[in-house]
Structures are given as C-alpha cells and as structure tokens.
Amino acid sequence: MAYYRKKPVTIQAVRFLNQGNDWHRMFNEVPPWLSEAKAIGRLSTVLGKNEGLVIKTLNGPVFVALGEWIVLGIEGELYPCQDKIFRNTYDFISFKKPEELEEEED
C-alpha cells in the first residue's frame, strides 16, 4: 500500500459563525475574495429551516453548515471544511500575507 503526505500549502479561510442576513456578522472576517464570491453568485445564503450557505463548485452546489470553514484553495476554488477537520489539518500562521512574513524575516 502506498502512503501520501499532504503538501504544505498556505490557504485563506473564514468560519461561518452566525446565520441571518447581516453578511459581516456571519463570519469572523469578510476578506475581499469572499465578498467577490457573493457578488458574482458563487456563494449564496439559504434561509429557512436549514439555514446556511451554498457554494457553487465545479462539482455542483455544496452546502456550508454553521460552524464550518470556507476555504479559498490554491487555484481560487472555494470549498467548505468541517471545523474538526480544519483544526486537524491547518495551523494558524498570521493575519499577514505569507509574502509579508517572508519580507520581515529578511
């Protein structure tokens, strides 16, 4: 059997924290890529009994439940990630861009 290790990549992500219509209260922050996704229809709100969000992906619409993370992948794709999986897969680095951190090290 072959074994594989996930390559180290830096991603951006936000956590879906609150339901409702107030976009800025729904997340821990609202980065430009998230606002753009909403503006072009890649991300929409689902209201009613099963409130949440829907991301339009290449594989079709994907539901984002409260507490899950929305990840911006390395090729600009968006996908949801359950909180437990996110915390077991990713470590917080910084609120700064990776290139800004590299400049500080020089």
Say what the pLDDT of residue 95 is: 74
Say what the pLDDT of residue 61 is: 93
Is pTM beyond 0.75 here?
A: yes
Measuring CA to CA, how many Å separate 70 from each of 29, 49, 95, 105? 11, 21, 16, 29
pLDDT 10s digits, 18-46? 766 677 778 878 899 999 999 999 998 87
Domain ranges of the chain: 12-92
* Number of DSSP helices (H) and strands (E) in the chain, helices first: 3, 6
- Low-confidence stretches of the chain (pLDDT < 50) are none
Say what the pLDDT of residue 21 is: 65
Say what the pLDDT of residue 18 is: 77
